Structure 1
Amino acid sequence: MNRHEHSPIDSTTVSFVSGGQRCVASFYRPPGSGPFPVIVMAHGLGGTRIMRLPAYAERFAAAGYACLVFDYRHFGDSEGEPRQLLDIGKQLADWKAAVAYARTLDEVKPDQVILWGTSFSGGHVLVVAAEDARIAAVISQCPFTDGLASSLAMQPLTALRVSVRALRDRIGAALGAAPLMVPLAGRPGETALMNAPDVWAGYRALVPPGATIPDTVAARIALDIIRYTPGRMASRIKAPVLFCICNTDSVAPAKTSLRHARRAPRGEIQCYADGHFDIYVGDGFERVIRDQLAFLRRHVPAR
Structure 2
Amino acid sequence: MSVRADVRFDSAGVACAAWHFPGVGDGLATAAGRPAVVMAHGLGGTKDSGLEPFATRLAAAGLEVLAFDYRGFGASEGSPRQRVSMAGQLEDYRAAMAAAAALPGVDPRRLVLWGVSLAGGHVLAAAAGRDDVAAVVSLTPLVDGLAAGRHALASHSPASIVRSTVAGLHSRAGRVPVTMPIVGRLGETAALTLPGLYEDYTALAGPTWVNEVDAAVGLKLGGHRPGRLAKHVRCPMLVQIADFDRSAPPHAAAKAAVKGRAEVRHYPCDHFDVWPGKEWFEAAVAHQVRFLGRHLATDRSTVDRNENAF
Q: Does the pair score TM above 0.5?
A: yes
- The CA deviation at 1:72 is 0.4
- The CA deviation at 1:199 is 0.9
* Aligned equivalents of 2:63, 2:232: Cα separation in 1: 26
- Letter of the 2:233 partner, please give it: I
SS across alignment from 1:223 = helix
Q: Which of 272, 276, 281 is residue 271 of structure 2 equivalent to? A: 276
Aligned to 1:215: 211
Extract unaligned runs of 5+ from structure 2.
303-310
Deviations 1:77-122 (A, max 9, x none): 1110111111111100001111111111221111110000000000
- The CA deviation at 1:284 is 1.0
Scaled by the length of structure 2, the TM-score of the pair is 0.90
- The CA deviation at 1:133 is 2.9
More helix by share: 2
CA contact (8 A) 1:133 1:237 kept: no
CA RMSD of aligned residues (A): 1.4
Q: Counterparts in 2 of 1:20-169, with a 5 A limit?
A: 20-32=13-25, 35-154=33-152, 155=156, 156-169=158-171
Does structure 1 residue 226 correspond to structure 2 residue 228?
A: no
- Identity over the aligned pairs, expressed in percent? 39
* Aligned equivalents of 1:198, 1:271: Cα separation in 2: 21
- Letter of the 2:20 partner, please give it: F
Aligned to 1:3: none
Aligned to 2:308: none
Decide whether aligned partners of structure 1 residues 152 and 188 sit closer, same or farther in structure 2, where only a CA change above 3 A counts: farther
CA contact (8 A) 2:49 2:209 kept: no
* Aligned equivalents of 2:43, 2:182: Cα separation in 1: 8
Aligned to 1:287: 283
Does structure 1 residue 261 correspond to structure 2 residue 254?
A: no
Aligned to 1:188: 186
SS across alignment from 2:174 = helix
Scaled by the length of structure 1, the TM-score of the pair is 0.92
* Aligned equivalents of 1:32, 1:298: Cα separation in 2: 16
Number of aligned residues:
289
- The CA deviation at 1:162 is 1.0
Extract unaligned runs of 5+ from structure 1.
1-7
- The CA deviation at 1:213 is 2.2
Deviations 1:200-243 (A, max 9, x none): 111112124xx352111111121111221111111111111100
* Aligned equivalents of 1:104, 1:296: Cα separation in 2: 21
